[in-house]
Amino acid sequence: MSNIDYSDKIPNNVNLANDRTLQRALEHWQPRFLDWWREMGPNDFASVDVYLRTAVGVDAQGWAHYGTVKMPDYRWGIFLADPIANRTIGFGDSFGQPVWQQVPGEFRSQFRRLIVTQGDTEPASVEQQHRLGHTCPSLYDLRNLFQINVEEGRHLWAMVYILHAYFGRDGREEAEELLARHSGDVDKPRILGTFNEPIEDWLSFFCFCYFTDRDGKFQLKSLAESSFDPLARTCRFMLTEEAHHMFVGETGLGRIVRRTLEVMKEIGSDDPEAIRRRGAVDLPLLQRYLNYWFSSSLDLFGSEVSSNAATTFASGIKGRPDETTQYRDHVCSDSTFEIEVPDGRGGVVKDTSPMRNAMNEVLRDAYVRDCEIGLKRWNMHIKRAGYNFELKLPSSRFRRAIGAWANIPTDLEGRPIGREEYDRSLPGWLPSASDRDYVKSLMQRVVEPGKMAAWIAPPERGVNNLPVDYEYVRLN
């Protein structure tokens, strides 16, 4: 297995020292990255000690080292999963041929666009979360936020390495641009809509990790299948880190549900007002946040039917998540996929698309199924506590801005409804101004080791076998 060299200025397992030109180019980018981190990252916490994990290998076992670091000293580096010997192309027209170690000229611009779009989301999320540290519900959560932030920074490095190493001058320019666009900036916003929405409270943060980061997981999974082997290996290792981000989202929302159920038991009521008087998050409020973040994240997958998706699949650029293990037909040249689209008269009609053109929808379907897992678990807790309230994902047609259902008013079940009814109902389906004010009022920072804010239950265990009341962040 390839070891990570930490004596280098830029830790890496890609033999950077053997390519002086590339090394110099990346060393030139490094101080710019650090400037960006200081300006746009969790900069108010630059001098605090944080218990963080850092990658030290790319093995499934023992790949991370845990220790206390100040975030600006984190060793961001370039880590690729080990190559698979004799790997062949797993899907599309060139199925079975050897994978590419360089980008084929004819696919260059498509690859560049995909890599830049993925790369753009990484620093975007750090920017979105930039002030959250001030309102953390516990030191444990604060540490998890910072862990995610440094790893999203590392994911930016992962994409910048690919751009620098394989895309020449264009790649270097794109790497500069990745630091020049900013989340929510009027003149130079981030590329994708969801990554320009501010995350000002921890309920939104946990929803973001659960829904939006999970989109990232699915994009990475499909790029991990790519015929361009360095990209596939980069994404495979990113997924190892990404698992923690999913964990933070799922357990964060689960702990909120647990705390709410405790309060409901204590007061013997599920009345939202009574629950709010005790400083917890009532379940209908949580549901409205889920509706918001789920529908917003669905758009990230693109249109249901897309000629672009067909081309990237056919040419071996981007596969389906778990292409090798989940599917039998890896070519999909004559299969079809059924989708439901609006019929233009307020109804729904079934439509058949060539499978390749429906790849975005195939990905979105897999994503929706993955999103359901957490809800099932939380609903089990609610049921066990004796309440018949069920958290639900809205229909994937609800509140869409991209694709066949863009701007088609539907209810939460995806039934097309009149515009007036939609406008009237929407405030009850999404977080209202008073919901947001209430959530904001809950955001009081708790920094005593082991203590939790009143709206969230403690985690079941601490980080890396340490106790929950360990001082994960030393604030002075």
Footprint on this chain of Fe ion (rule: CB under 5 A):
122, 152, 155, 213, 242, 245
- The CB-of-406 to Fe ion minimum distance in angstroms stands at 26
State phi, psi for 68 to the nearest 5 degrees: -90, 125
Tokens of 424: 């009237």
Report the candidate in 198, 246, 252 with the shortest Cα–Cα distance to residue 455: 252
DSSP string, 359-376: HHHHHHHHHHHHHHHHHH
Q: How far is CA 95 from the centre of its chain?
A: 29
Three-state SS sequence of 197-227? CCCCCHHHHHHHHHHHHHHHHHHHHHHCCCC
As measured in angstroms, the least distance from the Cβ of 345 to Fe ion is: 41
Provide the minimum distance between the beta carbon of 451 and Fe ion in the complex, in angstroms, as a whole number: 27
The residue (of 216 and 319) whose beta carbon lies closer to Fe ion is 216
Distance CA 36, CA 420 (A): 45
Q: Are strands 348-354 and 336-342 parallel, antiparallel or unpaired?
A: antiparallel
Nearer to Fe ion, 197 or 213 (CB): 213
Question: Minimal distance in Å, beta carbon 152 to Fe ion?
Answer: 5
Q: Which is nearer to Fe ion, 237 or 398 (CB)?
A: 237
Rank residues 294 and 398 by Cβ distance to Fe ion and give the closer one: 294
- Which residue lies nearer to Fe ion by CB, 213 or 299? 213
Q: E strands along 277-370, which residues?
A: 336-342, 348-354
Handedness of CA 34, 37, 39, 43 (dihedral sign): negative
The smaller minimum CB distance to Fe ion, of residues 122 and 174, is found at 122
Q: How far is the CB of 299 from Fe ion (least distance, A)?
A: 18
To Fe ion, the closest distance from the beta carbon of 137 in angstroms equals: 20
Q: Which residue has the tokens 């309920």?
A: 203
Which residue, 121 or 357, has its beta carbon nearer to Fe ion?
121
Output the CA torsion sign for 22, 25, 30, 33: negative
For residue 285, the minimal CB distance to Fe ion (Å) is 25
